Structure 1
Amino acid sequence: MRLSFRRGISALVAVVGTVVLAAAPVPAGVARADGHRSHGRVQDGAGLVHQEVSFRGGDGLVLHGTVLSTATAQRAPARPGIVLIGGSGPGPREEYRQEAEAFARAGITTLVYDKRTVRYSRLDRDFGLLAADAVAGVRLLRGRPGVDPHHVGLWGFSEGGWVAPLAAARSSDVGFVITIGGPGHSPLRTQTWNLTTHLRHRGITGSFLPALEGPAAQLVASTGLFPEGDFDPLPALRRLRHTPVLALWGDHDRQVPPRESAQIFRRTLAGAGNRHVVVRFLRDAAHNGHRTSDGFDRIAGPLYQGKRLGALAPGYVHTLTSWVAAVAAGHPPRSSTASAPPQPVSSAPAAGAWYAWLPPVLLLLGFAAYPVSGALRRIARRPRPGPARGAALRRWLAGLGLVAVTTAVLCPLAVYVVGDGGAAGPVVAGRPSGWLVAQALSVSVVVLTGVTVRRRRNGQRTPAGSRPHVRPGVARATLMVTAVLFVPWALWWGTLRP
């Protein structure tokens, strides 16, 4: 572009303005005073209009999404709107396209947006911030032509089942709440049930499952490796006194305990005085409300990141859209609860203890003291405090003890951190291979401890005068005390149990 000297000042201002707009995080479009932007409208072959939008989340981060509606939505009487809140993970909008299109075809203007990637990861999660993002989406829909601002609600799937009630409890702009696979327990207890259910499906039995539910869960809670692990969903539910709620679960939900969660939703909301709570179970549906045979597979539907999503379960869309239509008409259905399907196993309470990290740390320090002291002695060229008899055995004991504790802790810890039962490794004899290694190491530590103690006693029974009596060093005594304390810890942790 060429500039004339007569228009130099104005052109410079224009160029600077162009650069600023190009660097801005919000793409160009039709801007509004509240920071929302709308982009080009595209109508597909099915008669749905897709409009790209951008809006600012709870901390000002720009989020991007799509508003779907029918081609006649703006010319028809005002219709309800719904904002979709995805489950855990990166949650791009494409994962929920089936739901968004189905709801839009039924006359519900739908916003589906990409979940934030800033301040959201496996080790960093804030449900309050996610709730603020959802409320910002509700405000966007409330200001759109053809949308009834009094009937814009939230749909929360899985993790969204914690976020949606929290958002509705904080904002009167939310007209109704729908959850699919909403958890009634804390995230840590829910995830523990999810992991153990999938591990059982893989054929894992024995002590690994109790270890995962008990001491490993306590360790995860005490170290903060599971963000929002102790989040309590009940306070938010108690505040939904007048907000209509539709709570749905698949009858083959294997990621959230459906029967327990449904009981918690019904009992808590009824106790809060909410008379418009409908609890339903979708037939032949998995955790996400899609078709399944057993809860672990998905039948039909599109592929997402190489995995089958499954088609929407029969009756899912009708149940949701007819309920929303009744709410929008000013007649929210009265509270009712369908019969819950059987739940494979009950969930285990995940009571955290701040000191859960202390025993393994002390054991690691106790086993490490012997080789560390030996290395320091060699560096300082100090003589050994006593004869070398049994030194090699003690070195083996210290080394195996370190590896045994580390392996026993990391095996279940990896399952929690990765969030996938496959992290436990291949299954051998009904146990994860890593756990079998930890069990073999634990047995070796016990055997070496017994051999070391026996040799020590035999040495003490040597006739007087045949050898000088030497007091054991601090490192040697620490090693033996640690090895003895390892036994009850390994029994509690599970590596010395079948």
Structure 2
Amino acid sequence: PNPKAGGVTLAGTLTVPEGSGAYPVFILINGSGAQDRDETIMGHKSFAVLADYLARRKIASLRVDDRGIGKSTGNFATATTDDFAEDVRAGVAFLRERPEVDAKRIGLIGHSEGGIIAPMVAASDPDVAFVVLLAGTGVPGDAVMQEQQKAIIGAMGLGADVVAANRKVSEAGMTAIKNARDGADARKKIDAVIAEQTASLPQVAREKATKQLQAAFYPWCSAWFIRFASLDPREYLSQVGCPVLALNGSLDTQVIASQNLPAIEAALKGGGNRFVSVRELPKLNHLFQTARTGSPTEYAAITQTIAPEVLQTIGDWIVTQAKP
């Protein structure tokens, strides 16, 4: 149960290595969207693979269904990143009471949005001993989204004129979202942006463009997105003092390595953290699969779930850092 979220009970899987002993343990923190404990994306169960690998390296792990997903209770639709951080804190409290793990060696592994949540939790809990960021962000959400859209459109091979037009609309939409009081206000502001951007079009084209833009931007009107747009992970990264490993793929089109890794490193070191390791891994996408372009359209077609070198990099770092 999460005592700070009335009525929410989280369900998950605690994977413990064979044999006896109090093992180091890591909570695996999902990325954005409705995720089960395995972080199942397009048929790939990334966290199931990671948990199995960690167990073979004598590292325990806890992976959890998002609130309102799978066997976890609660309302996913109304939850924000702050709520998911509270759920992870409940997981840390749960692990402190488990005899199979070492309460002094509890760490966090966060992927994508989980790479924002992990520093939020570690910043408020000095007992978190290690943090691994997999495609975590180092700049505010609105900046992440702008670069993401540019990269994805570029990976699709569309022209510079399409990129420029999309950027103009999305920048206006993002400004509207950041200034919104709530979802209803956000939708009104988005409608105003769309009306302005389509005003010069003939009626038939304007109606078609309006529907397309509403489909693209209405999802931005959720409580989660409104919070994400203004959330600055540097505020939390600068307060994390434990060892941190940050990894990004060079072909990641959702969290751009060149935008985020330097910002993560600067925030951590700027806060006085001397135990920082940052690596950009070549030819890997947002899911850490070996990829061709990095476009999300490739995820399902790639048979690999996680590149072996990623698993080894994580495992080697943890084994080095988490010695008894």
**TM-score interval, smaller chain:** 0.7 to 0.9
Larger Rg: 1
Of residues 76, 85, 89, the one that matches 2:29 is 85
Is the partner of 1:275 in helix, strand or coil? coil
Structure 1 stretches lacking a partner, 5+ long: 1-54, 331-498
Task: Give the distance between the partners of 1:136 and 1:103, measured in 2 at CA.
Answer: 22
Whether 2:163 is the aligned partner of 1:217: answer: no
What is the root-mean-square deviation in Å for CA atoms of aligned residues?
Answer: 2.2
Task: In structure 2, list runs of 5 or more residues that go unmatched.
Answer: 41-46, 69-73, 181-185, 187-220
CA contact (8 A) 2:25 2:107 kept: yes
Contact 1:286 1:295 in 2 (8 A): yes
2:129 to 170, 175, 178: 175
Letter matched to residue 80 of structure 1: P
Q: Is the 8 A contact 2:109 2:131 kept in 1?
A: yes
Superposition deviation, residue 119 in structure 1: 4.4
Do residues 138 (structure 1) and 92 (structure 2) align? yes
Structure-1 residue corresponding to 2:246: 247
The yes-or-no answer on 1:196 pairing with 2:150 is yes
Name the structure 2 match of 1:126: 80
**8 Å contact kept, 1:56–1:63:** yes
TM-score, normalization: structure 2?
A: 0.75
Q: Which structure's relative contact order is higher, taking Cα pairs within 8 Å and 6+ residues apart? A: 2
1:56 aligns with 2:12: no
Deviations 1:320-346 (CA, angstroms, capped at 9, x unpaired): 11111122116xxxxxxxxxxxxxxxx
Q: What per-residue deviation string (whole Å, max 9, x for no partner) do you get for residues 157-187 of structure 1? A: 0011111100111112311111100011112
Deviations 1:164-212 (A, max 9, x none): 1001111123111111000111122212221222123331542422313
- Aligned positions of 1:350-365 closer than 5 A: none
Partner of 2:285, secondary structure, is coil
Q: Distance in 2 between matches of 1:309 and 1:157?
A: 20
- Check if 1:166 corresponds to 2:120: yes
| Residue of structure 1 equivalent to 2:64 | 113
User: How many residues are paired up?
Assistant: 265
Shift of 1:66: 0.5
* Corresponding residue for residue 311 of structure 1: 305
Deviation at 1:269, TM superposition (A): 1.0
* Amino acid aligned to 1:112: R
Cα distance between partner residues in 1 of 2:286 and 2:10: 26
Letter in 2 for 1:70: P
Residues 298 and 144 of structure 1, relative CA distance in 2, 3 Å threshold: farther
The CA deviation at 1:89 is: 0.3
**Displacement after TM superposition at 1:146 (Å):** 2.7
1:257-276 paired onto structure 2 within 5 Å: 257-276=256-275
Q: Partners of 2:117 and 2:177 in 1: how far apart?
A: 22
Larger CA deviation: 160-169 vs 127-136: 127-136
Partner of 1:403: none
**In 1, distance between residues paired with 2:3 and 2:146?**
30
Q: Which residue of 2 aligns with 1:234?
A: 234
- The letter for the 2-side match of 1:191 is M
Quick one: distance in 2 between partners of 1:105 and 1:292?
Answer: 26
Displacement after TM superposition at 1:317 (Å): 1.2
Output the CA distance in 2 between the equivalents of 1:80 and 1:88.
26
Could you list the per-position Cα deviations for residues 375-406 of structure 1 after superposition, in whole angstroms to 9, with x for gaps in the alignment? xxxxxxxxxxxxxxxxxxxxxxxxxxxxxxxx
Of stretches 214-223 and 266-275 in structure 1, the one that deviates more from structure 2 is 214-223
The structure-2 alpha-carbon separation of the partners of 1:239 and 1:231, relative to structure 1 and needing over 3 Å to count, comes to: same
Conserved? CA contact 1:58–1:129, under 8 Å: no
| Alignment deviations for residues 129-152 of structure 1 (CA, whole Å, 9 cap, x no partner) | 211111111222232223111111
CA distance in 1, matches of 2:260, 2:66: 25
The superposition leaves residues 105-129 of structure 1 with CA deviations (integer Å, 9 ceiling, x where unpaired) of: 21111101101134433xx442222
Alignment of 1:385-396 (within 5 A): none
Which residue identity lines up with residue 285 of structure 1 in the other structure?
Answer: L
Kindly provide the amino acid, as one letter, of the partner of residue 254 in structure 1.
T
1:142 alignment partner AA? R
- Give the % identical residues: 29
Kept in 1: contact 2:23–2:59 (CA 8 A):
yes
Q: In the TM superposition, what is the alpha-carbon distance from 1:298 to its structure 2 partner?
A: 8.2
